[in-house]
Amino acid sequence: MSLHLLADDAEVLRAAAEWLTRGKRVALVTVLKTWGSSPRPPGSLLVIGSDGEMAGSVSGGCVEETLMARHRAGELGADTPTLVDFGVNSEEAARFGLPCGGRLELLIELLDSPLAVTALMAQLEQHALIARRLCISTGAVSLYPPDGEVEFSVTATDVVKVFGPAWSLLLIGNGQIARHLASMAMQLDYRITICDPREAFIDPNPLPGVSYSQRMPDDEIAALIDAPRTAIVALAHDPKQDDLAMAAALESRAFYIGALGSVRTAAARCRRLIKLGYRAEQIARVHGPAGMPIGSKRPGEIALSILAGITAVRNGVHSSVDRKVRAA
């Protein structure tokens, strides 16, 4: 048996395609709903091969073992998608390794051909965002460009999951805060770029897994492929760099735009953007000072507050304290 719990969506799909090509019977498991302290969020994927191979995760280990045993015995899934509940009560939660009171609702699909996933993988190889709709009653699958920002949705008839480039974080300006923020964001599966054209700010010890760019900020933002899934944060402490970044960011579809600085600095930036022709409602997209108000002073704390603010916006949660500063 092989188990790769940390696989991302693309790795899960590649594993499924490989096993199907080799003639294996493959089950695709999707977390539909969770209650209580379930370890994996809705939309999480797991694929199971008939020889016990697994990639992805729906719980962290114990539920996967039960599903694998049932799949090897030919007891998992049917011709049409099957709904399965785990952890309905605390006794079952303990049995399946869920936190006390946790519950999972899973959808099981039996895949019978590599074509079931290769068409989706072809779209992802083109860096496209693609939605996969599954009809629960028939098992019919359709692929189409998503028209919104919802990553995963479940109705009585359909399950829709959006696949595509990972969430991205573009940091304008290198330095201690950028380094801390990049390190933290990697733990949340962001693809990170640090952009700083200034020679004096070239990092002699670049972070593994982080892309570095010396392009001008507006050029870097203009080159974004998947802007709706991108957060842009200006950290340069240089009005020339930060203003270039903010002006370009306001022309993008980035889900979060933030800029470091004091309340006074943020108000001055707003006035400069107004002079550049941006309207108040456009400028209202900028979170400045960037970050949640946690009393942060040190670089690591500031980075933490910024990442918390980004996470809140990404999850549709609005802070009770508005950190968006308007021009006087």
Rg (CA), the chain: 22
Structural domain contains residue 325: no
Same domain, 208 and 131: no
CATH number at residue 284: 3.40.50.720
Same domain, 136 and 209: no
Same domain, 149 and 200: no
- Check whether 127 has a pLDDT greater than 80: no
Confidence (pLDDT) at 299: 94
Single-letter amino acid, residue 324 = K
CA–CA distance, 127 with 160 (Å, rounded to integer): 19
Range of the domain at 276: 168-314
Confidence (pLDDT) at 36: 64
Same domain, 95 and 231: no
Structural domain contains residue 319: no
CB 86 within 8 A of CB 96: yes
Residue 40 in 3-state DSSP? coil
- Check whether 154 has a pLDDT greater than 70: yes
Same domain, 30 and 153: yes
Same domain, 15 and 150: yes
Domain count for the chain:
2
Structural domain contains residue 321: no
Structural domain contains residue 135: yes
Same domain, 66 and 192: no
Mean pLDDT of 20-44: 86
Determine how β-strand 26-35 pairs with β-strand 103-111. antiparallel
Same domain, 159 and 211: no
Q: Tell me which of 148, 163, 178 is where a domain ends.
A: 163
Q: Tell me which of 144, 163, 182 is where a domain ends.
A: 163
pLDDT digit string, tens, across residues 262-303: 889 889 999 999 999 999 999 999 998 899 988 888 999 999
pLDDT digit string, tens, across residues 162-209: 988 668 999 999 999 999 999 999 888 788 999 999 999 998 899 998
Structural domain contains residue 288: yes
Look up the pTM and report it. Answer: 0.66
Same domain, 119 and 99: yes
Structural domain contains residue 327: no
pLDDT digit string, tens, across residues 67-113: 888 888 888 777 889 998 876 455 555 555 555 456 789 999 999 88
Structural domain contains residue 26: yes
Same domain, 176 and 156: no
Confidence (pLDDT) at 66: 83
CA atoms within 13 A on the CB side of 236: 27
Q: For residue 28, give the nearest of 45, 8, 7, 10 by alpha carbon.
A: 45
Residue 235 in 3-state DSSP? coil
Confidence (pLDDT) at 139: 93
Structural domain contains residue 76: yes
Same domain, 209 and 246: yes
Same domain, 178 and 108: no
